[in-house]
Chain A
Amino acid sequence: MIITSRRLILGATPALIAAPALAQPRWPVRPVQLLCPWAAGGGTDAVVRIIANLLEKELGQPFNVINRTGGSGVVGHAAIAQAAPDGYTLGMITAEICMLHWQGLTELTFRNYTPLALMNNDPPGIQVNVNAPYRDVGQLAEAIRTSRPGQLKSSGTGQGGIWHLALAGWLMAMRLPANHVRWVPSNGAAPAMQDLAAGGLDFTTNSVVEARAMLDANRARALAVMSNERLGAFPNIPTLKEAMNIDYATGAWRGIAGPLNIPAEARTTMNAALGRVFRSAEYSEFMNNRGFGMSYADADGFARHLAAADASLGDAMKAAGLARS
């Protein structure tokens, strides 16, 4: 006896249509590798690990973080670009991918990747010693304008690093030569903030997050942040636009990407899943606790961001004499 009801037919038809798609192996059917070009325990590592945890919940397959370090990030970035394009090896790319090729250190550019989502952006701040005479960023800018070239000293990272370019970009936005303030290369933001507190520097341009402990300890003051909006965690710090009417924003950003030509299904699934990860309560709680800047762009938005960042970082590097022409 066969019972045929309208409801059964209506219910079965979409299932029949969907059947061919279901029969195909859906992505992901096995664990996915997420490559991290920086060492375990660092900031990039922390962000990629929380994303991996949340992706695992979203997509039901393990996402394994693998640190591929070496060569100032070149090795790991190359490993992502050169991975088999089956969608099972993805990774986190960082601002360095738009800097290293200008210095002639690698052939790789952002065009070697399938961008999936921008997940984080930490804008630089402008920090001075707590006893410095500058009450706001306008006074510091005035002091810079009237100083001899190279008289004032700033730091925050190594020569040609992202915060060095932030300084160069800010000076250029003020119509000053990019090397008007002398850059003191440091081994990261922490030693620079220490030297600022010890009185060895005039200001630093590392991210506000990296300055947070010194700001809390009342050893340093933040005068401005180089972003379009004020930071959620630091609502009292004005943007450059508000304080000086200068339209300059940059940052150390991180996003998920894969090699070129990954399957369309992996691309669309990841695009949607990363959006859900970004909006999840766990992600925002983690990022806010660590002080990491929440900034999101979907696959297309990330692609536009990469092109814009590559051009603006390239300009800053050329102006500061850091690019290999």
Chain B
Amino acid sequence: MEPFLEGLRLVLATDVLIAILASAVYGLVVGSLPGLSATMATALLVPVTFWLSPIAAIATIITASAMAIFSGDIPGALLRIPGTPASAAYTDEAYALTRKGQAELALGAGLWFSAIGGIVGTISLMLLAPALAEIALSFSTYEYFWLALLGLMCATLVARSSPIKAIASMLLGLLIACIGMENPAGTPRFTFGIPDLLGGIEPIPALVGVFAVSEVMRAMAEAEPPKLPRRRFGSILANQWFLTKKYQFQMWRGNFVGIIIGVLPGAGADMAAWVSYAMAKKFSKEPEKFGTGHPEGLVEAGASNNASLASGWVPSLLFGIPGDTITAIAIGVLYMKGLNPGPTLFTERASSMYALYIIFILANIIMIPLGIMMIRAASTVLRAPRSAVMPVILLLCAVGSFATGNNLFAVLLVALFGVLGFVMEKNGYPVAALVLGIVMGSMLEQNFVTSLIKSDGDVLPFFERPVSSFLAALTFSALLWPLLAWIWMRLSRRRSPA
């Protein structure tokens, strides 16, 4: 109890509270700009933390990243521009709700279940950190390979189009992931002598291009849809309580999956959102409604997304292994402020640890009122004429992609992916599957090749380790299930007329 009270005292200092509030507003604004990611928001804060007290410095990082991840969903839902690869899983769903005139339901679900996911994830961090860390350490490259393969298979589950077109999109994504020299052999591939291609294709410009730019192009090619009926935004929170009760099981499943996947360094929030959305659809009683503006998937994926963010801190705090780019930045700040990651942080610096927990919870609680204000402000975009909104989106896409590396090549990439996305969607190929291929491709290849190097070319370790055998069984059953079901149907149909 003593360290907890001490931690509470640390957080309730004036400078820490000001830091939390200021970074919350900052994170909300930066995250909501298309093309500016949560990683970007966090990285820009690092020089500011030089002058802050240790707890205030960590508080700004935690708060700003949590806010930016949530507000990345706002342009996703309103304009179909996902803020992160994680929200790409459910962007189409949220946008479909907006088109039905239920933007407040989509955004409210994002806010409410993000906050719940964040708090549940934090509680898991408080209670189970050492146990969760053991899970993370039992994952070697063999397990990561199966995990990446499972993640890729979500492409066919998530897509509304024909599975063949979804797989084709995903394979194109895998091909794009081959570009560059960031592969296990360290050899440049498909770079055509262009230095900018050596680093490969980053997911963010691809994401902004295929979703946002292609949306602008579509708006220019099609007649303006009838205006959304002008009406007051209803209460944002009122509907959420109803959703919480209706989809309680999905919410807990999302939280659980998020915590487990989030704890694995490198897999993180992206994978959690995709897997949870696919799971929600697979096990739903009404899967046909998915993609037409149905909140069930949003509930599960939103909860999973933020739960994984909190549990992603476990390997960072215990072993200094970053779960994603945000925690990689946070680890640097922890060291800079003398809060060195390691088991001693949990024992000798227990009061600082409690302060971190309290900041996590606090950030997720103030997310709700601030988020509601942000949603109300942002939704004026929906009432603005399309001819005014679309040029601004295009400008923001260009500025945002330039800002990540101050490199004009990224702007060019956004434009190219915009054209690609436009052509693909016109022909019924889901762009989300393409993004999934780009995100998962390098992870799949890296872990497959390094596993084979470690085992001297032997494939047996892919199946004989306890966790890898379980994941392999899961993968094969998911892969073969449609085939078996089809054969079963054929057999039983042939038998019935006889």
Which A residues form the contact surface with B (CB < 8 A)? Answer: 39-43, 45-46, 49-50, 53, 65-72, 74-75, 78, 103, 105-106, 150, 153, 155, 158-161, 182, 184-187, 190-191, 193-195, 197-201, 212-214, 216-219, 286, 289-291, 322
Partner of B184, one of A69, A185, A212: A185
Cross-chain contact A41 with B332 (CB below 8 angstroms): yes
Q: Are B320 and A190 touching (Cβ within 8 A)?
A: yes
**B332 with A290: CB separation less than 8 A:** yes
In the assembled complex, the CB of B452 is this many whole angstroms from the nearest CB of chain A, namely 10
| Cβ-defined contact, A159 with B43, below 8 A | no
Q: What are 23 A-B pairs at a CB distance below 8 A? A: A41-B43, A41-B332, A46-B332, A53-B50, A68-B405, A70-B195, A71-B197, A75-B196, A75-B199, A153-B453, A158-B184, A158-B186, A187-B182, A190-B320, A197-B319, A212-B320, A213-B318, A213-B341, A216-B342, A216-B344, A217-B318, A217-B319, A219-B137
Which of chain A's residues have a CB closer than 8 A to the CB of B335? 289-291
Q: Is the CB of A67 within 8 A of B450?
A: no
B321 adjacent to A193 (CB under 8 Å): yes
Contacts A72-B182, A194-B319, A291-B335 supplied; 16 other A-B pairs, CB < 8 Å: A40-B46, A41-B42, A46-B332, A49-B46, A69-B406, A70-B196, A71-B198, A103-B186, A106-B195, A182-B453, A185-B184, A185-B185, A187-B266, A190-B320, A213-B319, A216-B340
Q: Which of A68, A159, A218 has the most CB of B within 10 A?
A: A159
Interface centre among B50, B138, B410 (most CB of A within 10 A): B50
Distance between Cα atoms of A159 and B188 in the complex (Å): 12
Q: Which residues of B have CB within 8 Å of A290? A: 332, 335-336
B343 touches A71 (CB 8 A): no
Q: How far is the CA of A318 from the CA of B43 in the complex (A)?
A: 37
Closest 5 CB pairs of A and B: A213-B320, A159-B186, A40-B43, A41-B43, A69-B405
Q: Does B454 contact A (CB under 8 A)?
A: yes
Q: Is B248 an interface residue (CB 8 A)?
A: no
Interface centre among B50, B180, B337, B450 (most CB of A within 10 A): B450
- With a cutoff of 8 Å between Cβ atoms, the chain B residues found around residue A158 in the complex are 182, 184, 186
- Asked whether A289 lies within 8 Å of B195 as measured between CB atoms, the reply is no
**Which residues of the other chain, A, contact B404 by a CB distance below 8 angstroms?**
39, 69
| 8 A Cβ contacts from B455-487 to A | 456
Query: Is the C-beta of B226 less than 8 angstroms from some C-beta in chain A?
Result: no
Query: Please, which residues of chain B bring their CB within 8 A of the CB of A194?
Result: 136-137, 139, 265, 315, 319, 321
Contacts of B138 in A (CB 8 A): 198
Question: Are the CB atoms of A75 and B195 closer together than 8 Å?
Answer: yes
Does B98 sit at the interface, judged by CB under 8 A? no
- Chain A residue numbers with a CB within 8 Å of B332 are 41, 43, 46, 290
A140 to chain B, nearest CB (A): 18
Which partner residue on chain A sits nearest B318 by CB separation? A217
Contact between chains at B184 and A159 (CB < 8 Å): yes
Determine whether B365 belongs to the interface, using a CB cutoff of 8 Å to chain A.
no
B199–A200 CB distance below 8 A: no
Check: B233 CB closer than 8 A to any chain A CB. Answer: no
Near A by CB (< 8 A), chain B positions 395-417 give 404-407, 409-410
Q: Are B186 and A71 in contact, with the CB atoms below 8 A? A: no
Contact (Cβ within 8 A) A41 B46: yes
Is there contact, CB below 8 Å, between A187 and B446?
Answer: yes
Question: At the interface with chain A, which of B146-154, B252-260, B322-330?
Answer: B322-330
- In Å, the complex CA distance between A283 and B199 comes to 31
A76 and B50 CA atoms in complex are apart in Å by: 25
A182 contacts across to B, CB distance below 8 A: 453
Q: Which chain A residues lie closer than 8 Å to B195 at the CB level?
A: 70-71, 74-75, 78, 105-106
Give the CA-CA distance A243 to B199 in the complex, in Å. Answer: 39
Judging by beta carbons under 8 Å apart, are A214 and B320 in contact? Answer: yes
- Contacts A158-B182, A217-B318 known; A70 to B409 CB distance under 8 Å? yes
B498 proximity list for chain A (CB < 8 A): none
Cβ–Cβ < 8 Å partners of B315 in chain A: 194
Least distance between B208 CB and chain A CB atoms (Å): 16
Let me know if B44 is at the binding interface, CB within 8 A.
yes
Instruction: State the interface size on chain B (CB cutoff 8 A).
Output: 61
Query: In the assembled complex, which residues on chain A have CB atoms less than 8 Å from the CB atom of B320?
Result: 190, 212-214, 216-217
What is the CB-to-nearest-CB distance from B178 to chain A, in angstroms, rounded to a whole number? 15
Contacts of A40 in B (CB 8 A): 40, 43-44, 46
What does the 1/0 interface line of B166-204 toward A look like (CB < 8 Å)? 000000000000001110111110000001111100000
Check B342–A217 contact: CB distance below 8 A.
yes
State in angstroms the CA–CA spacing of A45 and B180 once bound together: 22
Confirm or deny: B71 has a beta carbon within 8 angstroms of a beta carbon on chain A: no
B385 at the interface (CB under 8 A from A): no
Q: Point out the residues of chain A lying under 8 angstroms from B456, CB to CB.
A: 150
B124 at the interface (CB under 8 A from A): no
Contacts of B272-330 to chain A: CB distance below 8 A: 315, 318-322, 325, 328-329
Q: A289 to B335, alpha carbons, bound, how many Å?
A: 6
In angstroms, Cα B50 to Cα A75, docked, is 28
Contact residues in A for B60 (Cβ distance below 8 Å): none
A53 & B47 in contact (Cβ 8 Å cutoff): yes
Contact: A185 with B449, CB < 8 Å? yes
- Least Cβ–Cβ distance between B378 and chain A, in angstroms: 25
B39 CB-CB contact with A under 8 Å: yes
One of B139, B322, B328, B336 near A286 (C-beta < 8 A): B336
Please tell me which one of the listed residues A41, A200, A219, A322 contacts residue B141 in the complex, with CB atoms under 8 A apart: A200
Chain B residues near A199 (CB-CB < 8 A): 140
Q: Is A184 a contact partner of B450 (Cβ separation < 8 A)?
A: yes
**CA of A105 to CA of B329, assembled, Å:** 29
Which of A53, A71, A103, A155 interacts with B199 by CB under 8 Å? Answer: A71
Complex Cα spacing A70 to B186, Å? 15
Interface: B497 (CB within 8 A)? no
Kindly provide the distance from the CB of B471 to the nearest chain A CB, expressed in whole angstroms. Answer: 15
- Tell me how far the C-beta of B32 lies from the nearest C-beta in chain A, rounded to whole angstroms: 19
Contact among B182, B188, B341, B410 with A105 in the assembled complex (CB-CB below 8 Å): B188
Which residue of the partner chain B has the closest CB to A107?
A: B195
Shortest beta-carbon distance from A72 to chain B in Å = 5
A221 to B140, CA, bound (A): 19
Q: A187 CA to B444 CA in the complex, in Å?
A: 12
CB contacts (< 8 Å) of A106 on chain B: these are 195
Among A69, A159, A198, the residue within 8 A (CB) of B185 is A159
Whether B186 lies near A214 (C-beta < 8 A) is no
B453 cross-chain contacts in A, Cβ below 8 A: 153, 182, 184-185
Q: Is B338 an interface residue (CB 8 A)?
A: yes
Known: A40-B43, A185-B184. A105 touches B141 (CB 8 A): no
Choose one: A67, A105, A186, A216; the contact of B198 (CB below 8 Å): A105
Q: Which of A39, A213, A322 has the most CB of B within 10 A?
A: A213
B43 contacts which chain A residues (CB < 8 A)? Answer: 39-41, 45
Structural contact, B406 and A68, CB atoms closer than 8 A? yes
Q: Mark B406-444, 1 if CB is under 8 A from A, else 0.
A: 110110000000000000000000000000000000000
Smallest CB separation, B259 vs chain A (Å): 19
| C-alpha spacing A146/B405, complex, angstroms | 47
Residues of B within 8 A of A46 (CB): 46, 332, 336
The CA of A103 and the CA of B407, in the complex, are separated in Å by: 23
Are A201 and B328 touching (Cβ within 8 A)?
no
Complex Cα gap A277–B335 (Å): 21
